[in-house]
Amino acid sequence: MELRGIHHIGVAVEDLDEAIATYERLFQAVLEHRQVLDSQGVEAAAVLVGESRVELLAPTGSDTPVGRFLARRGPGMHHVAYATDDVAEALGHLRAAGAELVDEVPRPGLFGLEVAFIHPDAVHGVLTEVVSGG
């Protein structure tokens, strides 16, 4: 398994338009993608801060994973995603290393990427994603 580095950090927000505007104003961020993913109850925007990507995540309703996160913890950092060439191979390594997985097999994520999540209990409270691409 080879992880290339941080693909993005995911941030839970209440209002996507406001959050995009904040990142543009404070950090001169550039909007890369924006997408509603009904199956995951989320509207997301990828913004670039310099060469790095921040995924802003707003819930489409309160009874969604991000909606429940906001109710429990408030807005803030939600997950970190590491890029890899082969998500399935990375999952095999993580399983062999004893990590509890949320996704046993890769699944379609935002922006056409293949993703899988590792349970935060396996990573000292950090919800961690592996994602295809650079």
Report the distance separating Cα 48 and Cα 58, nearest Å: 17
Q: Which two tokens stand for residue 97?
A: 């290393």
- The answer to whether residue 66 forms part of the interface with a copy of itself (CB under 8 A) is no
* Conformation bin of residue 50: beta by default, left when phi > 0, alpha when psi is -120 to 50: left
Selected from 86, 107, 120, 133, the binder of a copy of itself by CB under 8 A is: 120
Place of tokens 């913890």: 73
Binding region for a copy of itself (CB under 8 A) out of 31-39, 59-67, 94-102, 108-116: 94-102
Nearer to a copy of itself, 39 or 51 (CB): 51
Tell me how far apart the alpha carbons of residues 81 and 106 are, in angstroms, rounded to a whole number.
14
Sites of contact with a copy of itself (CB under 8 A): 1-6, 9, 11-14, 18-19, 22, 25-28, 49-52, 54, 73-80, 82-83, 94, 97-99, 118, 120, 122-126
